[in-house]
Chain A
């Protein structure tokens, strides 16, 4: 692979997105503090959103909006579908985060701790 600009951009965008996902999973799997786990979850979210948008990007493309004066720009627009999906996903992600945080609060009220290894009621 020759290192022209295109490849650098490719690697940095995809790489940062994948790195965000992996960091998030790492936090979910290793960190003991429940809030850290929720942070990890939102990082995974962020990485996925970046990945989606990056897939839809086109070099030298424009945003999928027919601004006044540019009504015929359709040939040069980036893919709008991933953007619409991510738009939805961000809002849902907030809802999930909010519910997770409320569960954290609830667990803290119930168990007096936010450390996941001290909450053993999942034992079967």
Chain B
């Protein structure tokens, strides 16, 4: 049997099995999920070297599944995160009810993500895409709370994307008569598609929803913060990359290597679209960063941060030069790793303390040292500070933007990654540093099965910070599939077109030594001379707080900044969508007035319709 079909089958039957096993015991589904993911992953890594294509036909539709290098790149993300998240999940979900449906959807979404990337025809692509959307939607509303607030936004936005994509697929089929992706790319090469731009833009809308691009991003913070953390790491790390996957295909294979660059109109429109997308990515990064700054909930903060990071990736893909695409794909993988680690860390805090509200927690560093270590490493990578791999991606992105002449975008990206320092410091400080509270004194470190996946991800970040070549290799292969030729990369040295180069080994050695010295100093310095007081009781400083009033410094952490940026927060996209929805509702309410309650009026409508039909048929046909 074909391995690809076998992997899909394993995941889908594993989902069924997970649900059925929950009828026996609520503890079983977690292990079933872990076993399924492990089997699938092992099967994939055993067989992906010898490429196997599979094509079969169901009810007259030819479905083609195959692996290629671009696919393998994303398969690494999916399986890597999937297996770690399912390991993490076993303990994380321990005491929660209804694990059966959670794990069934968990496995369905992982399986369908793999299905999406191996699909070489639009039909199975769309079907897997919808399975992915639905399974993730069911996890978003899994805990049964906040359906109206969170789930409906996700569903509405996904519906917009799905309809756009379906329209594009139908248009493509009407032009070329087949659903095959390869035939579509060939037709693009031969300029055989009349309304190619419309098709591309519709496809891009469909992918932009999942990649949480600016006007379509509003579902993301709600959905990310409402899912259990063990799935959020997959959700934010891998599932959003499906949008990136699709955008890469469209932006690179259709826009950049279409064989139509000589056509002036076509080149103009495609470049315009790319520029718009790049700017949307930049705006997304900036705005989402600003929103991340003012969040009090760690999970929400990470959700906004995810949107900002996806913005960088979209910029890279939209710019479309060799270096930009490389940086985008590198950032995509790195984002999957560090955001997966961060969501897991926050999930661990949530499980041990019971909340992720940063105004209620502080000083967990001694209680949860491993989680602190993972968070520290991850946010260093997130902020793009040298010794870790985030720096590599940012470096390449800056260079790509500057060499391409997008100086304003450089400013935007620079601004948002600077602001990223602020929020990443806040999450570190809010959860782990500061005064240790009495009510968190009993907190223990998370269980080993939760810590190990996080630590693996953190170690991966450290290693790739010094040896980014490990990741560059599959990226280079993937880019060759997309159409780039002569992709060069180096294991440890970053060099740019101006002749400067950074040897990452020296950098990480230097910083590592400095870090060790500081750690030794701080360990021996101890806590002499500091006196612990409750941060939530500030009557000692002369003020008499009201009861139940939380006055810790965690509140209004960035108050001066917030005051400065206040006008920006006033205009929320959510409000625009809500206004549109309310307007539509009012319109439909107005339309409803034709139902007067008088049966005769309805009869008049019928006769009027009949007469109109008669006139139309008699005079126009």
Contact = CB atoms under 8 A, between A and B. Distances in A.
- Let me know if chains A and B touch directly in the complex, using CB atoms closer than 8 Å: yes
Interface of A: 25, 28-30, 32, 37, 116-117, 119-124
A123 B597 contact: yes
A123 B600 contact: no
Contacts of B516: none
Contacts of A124: 592, 595, 597
B607 A25 contact: yes
Residue with the highest number of chain B CB atoms closer than 10 Å, among A25, A32, A119, A122: A122
A54 B382 CA distance: 88
B604 interface: yes
B591 to A, nearest CB: 11
Nearest to A124: B595
Nearest to B606: A29
Contacts of B607: 25, 29
A32 B603 CA distance: 13
B541 interface: no
Interface string B587-615: 00000100111111011100100000000
A123 B604 contact: no
B608 to A, nearest CB: 10
B420 to A, nearest CB: 53
24 contacts: A25-B607, A28-B600, A28-B603, A29-B600, A29-B603, A29-B607, A30-B600, A32-B600, A37-B600, A116-B598, A116-B599, A116-B600, A117-B598, A117-B600, A120-B597, A120-B598, A121-B597, A122-B598, A122-B599, A122-B602, A123-B595, A123-B596, A123-B597, A124-B595
Contacts of A30: 600
Interface residues of B, number: 11
A25 B608 CA distance: 12
Q: Is the interface of B mostly helix, strand, loop or mixed?
A: helix
Contacts of A120: 597-598
A28 B599 CA distance: 10
Interface in B554-600: 592, 595-600
A121 B596 CA distance: 10
Q: What 4 A-B pairs are tightest by C-beta distance, nearest first?
A: A123-B597, A120-B597, A124-B595, A122-B597
A123 B592 CA distance: 10
Contacts of A123: 595-597
Contacts of A117: 598, 600
A42 to B, nearest CB: 16
A36 to B, nearest CB: 11
A17 B502 CA distance: 97
A29 B604 contact: yes
A123 B595 CA distance: 6
B62 to A, nearest CB: 46
Given A28-B600, A117-B598, A122-B598, 7 more contacts: A29-B604, A29-B607, A30-B600, A120-B598, A123-B596, A123-B597, A124-B592
A37 B597 CA distance: 17
Contacts of A119: 599
A25 B606 CA distance: 11
Contacts of B602: 122
Contacts of B600: 28-30, 32, 37, 116-117
Most chain A CB within 10 A, of B595, B596, B600, is at B600
A55 to B, nearest CB: 20
A69 B7 CA distance: 88
A116 B602 CA distance: 12
Contacts of B596: 123
A30 to B, nearest CB: 8
Nearest to A120: B597
